[in-house]
Structure 1
Amino acid sequence: MGKKKSNFFDSRDKYLSFINSTNEKSKIAFEIATYLKKTKIKGDAFKIFDAGTGDGTIISTLLSAVHDKFPQDPIIVVGKEISIDDINALLGYLGYRFYEHKNLVFCITNVSYQDIYNQNFDNCKFLKKELIGNSSFSFNQQLMGMNDVIKKNWELKEDSASTILKPKQKSFMAIYRKDQKISLNHLIPKKLQDIPKLYDFVIASQAFRLRSPYQRTLKLVLLPLLRMLDKKGQLFFIYSSGNDFTKKILNQFFPKISPFQYSDPKAFISHVSNNINDFKKKYKVSVSSLLFSFLNISLSSTKKFSPMNSLGLWNAITYVGQISEDEQKKIAINVSFLDKISNIAKKLTLNFKDNILHFQKKGE
């Protein structure tokens, strides 16, 4: 077995530091929620596909907005996630969601986008969890008691060719309230082929490598997700723009790296348009940006960062730039370095900027 590549996606510490020191996830959820105003339910439920749930902040916050818009209508979510830690965090959010919106089916899987769309569920383990009771406390107890089930069915293995961590087996789990089993009978999958192929909302936040050529991202990520859109369905493709303070700092410490090489939204859309037949006839696309902030919670001063905050900022910057552990090896993280980061930060407005590519499938 080869030496495992140090991959920014696998850096749990960096990820946790980023989500705890910025407000990106909640900002994304609030932004997506604005698109619900003109949205109508087609068919028997509002369907959401989350291409990477992460810790669950985005999808759980968005579900509250969907409930506000459609308080009595069935909702089904299919969320992909391979991280056991993230799934456990996600489950911690869902207890109140099931209490607030009883007509909810929430599915979690590690199956690839292509396999979900193509209904390729060979050797996929199908699990169901019926929540008993009618209180958020009871639901939370049951959901947060599923650690062993998740650990057993979401094991990872190292791919022998790429040394990247991948699921050891395909798994799919559907969660719903037992007291709603009859009313949700049409929505609860009885077999894996019952899982929706088409969705009203598809969310893809930080779902690809910014140094991957547009063609690779199109083939492996964007195209499979576009295929999942129902008529008038909307895809939110969100990623770091690099058009903020992070680029200057990354260039200073990593002059030989171009972390945002393939982040130009216009170039990306042009490539997509040129490589999908009748793209303009099938989809409407728009570009917007989302600003989010670093949260300075320093206890020492409002003007100076504590060492912990400086480290948090550094982690956030390198996470946004997708800088791997190997690429950071030459930098010694010590008090002197953290003071340097603090001095740089004091002169800057610490707003990050994401790009949002919004695709909507045309239809009657």
Structure 2
Amino acid sequence: MKNDQILSQITEFCRQSDMAETTFGRRVVNDGKLVHRLREGKRITIDTLDRIQAYIAASTGALPPPRGLDVPPEKRDPRGNFRFFENRQKYLLFVHTCSEKRVIAERVALELSSLHPRPPALRVFDAGVGDGTVLARVMRSMHGRFPHMPFYIAGKELSLEDVRLTLDKVPDRLFEHPATVVVLTNMHYAEAPWLTPASPTAAAGMLWHEVALRGASSGEFETQIAELGPFLEQNWRANISPKSGMPIYERPVALVVYREDHRFLLDSIIPRAGRTEANFDLVIASQPYRAKSSVNFRAKRIIAPLARSLRAGGRLIGIHSHGHDPGLEIIQSVWPGENPFAVSRHELLRAVKYELGSAGRDLNFNAYADNRSIFRYDMEALPNEVTGSIGTSTAFAAWNAAVYVAQIEDDRLTEMTENSRTLDATREVLRKHNGLWFYDESYVISRRRD
């Protein structure tokens, strides 16, 4: 809630109660200058806001407003709605021509030095595994720093194709670090860390599938994981919600994978139905929401539930596109004024803090300075490919990267398909900057240690 909204409530209450604003401040928080500071734009804590609203409610005989952010339904037309996992061609071209996955994994790996794991395992949750590239790279870094510590790795992913790509990377990780439990689920953000559906109906139909891999080589593991194909096709399905137009799981699934020869060591780590926990040391939230989603939606539906899943000393690193880069310049040359990156990390963290309320008292919200938060990744091309006469393939790869990062919907792209201005504008930006790059920004939410 913003200052002008709080002030409006206080002013109206004081007018109806014939009470001076200084008196109101003294009675609520023992501070006669409370209202004056609000008018100067000063911030107040969540506790102070709760006390203000509780005092007004008690004095007027009304119920205090419920805690939490108001999130209007984001009704979207499935035909025009941009969804990462349904833009396979754009996605695959983007990840093979740009360095974002590698750079994000390097940024996440910096958080490992701040972790303080507790027995029986180092627990990591990836809130949107994608094709598993970032998670696999982070697991390599984890093995380098904690070579003898058991790992519990959980990830959320709705896309069947991305689950397959992620599982392709699991054999090598289990070969290098045998004491690892990998869990993949298709559940919502508020459910996945706990592997517990919110709906009793969904919980009753939840499917647990445990795979103990035999053998001791990555080739043997790969063969057994490949045999999961029919199971995934039959159960890892998504529907479109009639209320929101967004994809939702048809049936909640938890897939648990580990090495048979390490079952005894991992027994207390392997999750089982009715016996699960969150308590993560590290939560990775890399691009977990649409660029155009509201700040309240991001805070209430995604980041706040993930922050609740942290154990003492745990850290959540969030990453999303920042804009202000040559990629956005391409977009704005075609669609003037377009800016899908309107929500900053500062605004998001304020909303998350408000949503959590008293549950966030032992959390630190770190937006950091720009030189630490913002990082760059590039479209990888040879120097002579982005200067002089730029070929169609290079221009198309740059255009694809720009529209993918900006999450331009297919129906808008269709209008520009036969317009040569798109590639001409792309070439102009490539020549101007001698290349193409993008900016992401990061933030960290950490729970204080006991």
User: Which category describes the TM-score, using the shorter chain as reference length?
Assistant: over 0.9
Per-residue deviation, residues 115-149 of structure 1 (Å, max 9, x unmatched): 23563333211001111110111112222332222
Query: What CA deviation, in whole Å up to 9, does each residue of 1:1-48 have, x standing for no partner?
Result: x97323322212111121111111111111111221232211210001
Other-structure match for 1:116: 192
The structure with the largest helix share of the pair is 2
Q: Which one is further off, 2-11 or 227-236?
A: 2-11
Deviates more, 1:35-44 or 1:314-323: 35-44
Task: Find the aligned partners of 2:327 and 2:385 in 1 and give their Cα distance.
Answer: 24
Corresponding residue SS for 1:186: coil
* Greater mean alpha carbon deviation, residues 64-73 or residues 163-172: 163-172
Please give the residue correspondences for 1:46-61 in structure 2 after superposition, counting only pairs within 5 Å: 46-61=122-137
**Counterpart residue identity of residue 306, structure 1:** G
Q: What residue in structure 1 maps to residue 56 of structure 2? A: none
- Name which structure has the greater RCO, CA cutoff 8 Å, separation 6+: 1
Q: Structure 1 residues 321, 130: CA separation in 2 closer, same or farther (over 3 Å shift)?
A: same
Q: Which residue of 2 aligns with 1:358?
A: 444
Matched positions, count? 361
Contact kept, 8 Å, 1:76 with 1:104, in 2: the verdict is: yes
Does residue 222 of structure 2 align to residue 140 of structure 1? yes
Map 1:1-364 to 2 at 5 A: 4-9=78-83, 10-117=86-193, 119-120=196-197, 121-189=203-271, 191-255=272-336, 257-262=338-343, 264-278=344-358, 279=360, 281-287=362-368, 288-296=373-381, 303-333=388-418, 337-348=422-433, 349-364=435-450
The code of the aligned residue for 1:249 comes to I
Q: CA RMSD in A?
A: 2.2
Deviations 1:42-88 (A, max 9, x none): 12100011101000000011111111111111101110011111111
| Cα distance, 1:212 vs structure 2 | 1.8
Q: Is the 8 A contact 2:387 2:430 kept in 1?
A: no
Q: Secondary structure at the match of 1:48?
A: strand
Secondary structure in structure 2 of the residue aligned to 1:269 = helix
Where in structure 1 are there 5+ consecutive unaligned residues?
none
Distance 1:169 1:303 in 2: 53
Residue 162 of structure 1 deviates from its aligned partner by 3.0
Post-superposition Cα deviations, 1:265-298, rounded to whole Å, max 9, x if no partner, equal 2222233334432546422413311211111259
Cα distance in 2 for residues equivalent to 1:165 and 1:323: 18
Deviation at 1:357, TM superposition (A): 0.9
Kindly, what percent of the aligned residue pairs are identical? 26
Q: 1:113 to 1:301 in 2, by over 3 A?
A: closer
Distance in 2 (alpha carbons) for counterparts of 1:225 and 1:300? 42
C-alpha distance in structure 1 between counterparts of 2:285 and 2:152, whole Å: 17
Q: Distance in 2 between matches of 1:275 and 1:82?
A: 25
Distance 2:382 2:262 in 1: 43
Asked if the contact 2:363–2:445 (Cα under 8 Å) also holds between the matched residues in 1, the reply is no
TM-superposed deviation, 1:299: 8.9
Q: Could you tell me which runs of 5 or more consecutive residues in structure 2 were left unpaired when the two chains were aligned.
A: 1-75, 198-202
Change (3 A) 1:163 1:275: closer
Q: What secondary structure, in the 3-state scheme, does the structure 1 residue paired with 2:207 have?
A: strand
CA distance in 2, matches of 1:216, 1:98: 36
Q: Which amino acid aligns with 2:189?
A: Y
Aligned residues of 1:51 and 1:203 also touching (Cα < 8 A): yes
Q: Residue type of the partner of 1:332?
A: T
Query: Which is worse superposed, 14-23 or 141-150?
Result: 141-150
CA separation of 1:146/1:286 partners in 2, compared to 1, >3 Å: closer, same or farther?
A: same
Could you say what secondary structure the match of 1:181 adopts?
helix
Aligned residue type for 1:94: V
Counterpart amino acid of residue 69 in structure 1: R
Aligned CA distance change for structure 1 residues 194 and 310 (closer, same or farther; 3 Å): farther
Q: Describe the superposition over 1:94-124 as per-residue Cα deviations: whole angstroms up to 9, x where unpaired.
A: 1110000000000010011212356333321
Note if contact 1:211-1:258 (Cα within 8 Å) is conserved in structure 2. Answer: no
Change (3 A) 1:50 1:117: closer
Name the structure where strand makes up a greater proportion of residues.
Answer: 1
Q: TM-score, normalised by structure 2?
A: 0.75
Moved more, 175-184 or 273-282: 273-282
Higher Rg of the two aligned structures: 2
Q: Distance in 2 between matches of 1:83 and 1:314?
A: 25
Check the 8 A contact 2:186/2:192 in 1, yes or no: no
User: In the TM superposition, what is the alpha-carbon distance from 1:258 to its structure 2 partner?
Assistant: 3.1
Distance 2:385 2:299 in 1: 46
What is the deviation of 1:329? 2.2
SS at match of 1:183: helix
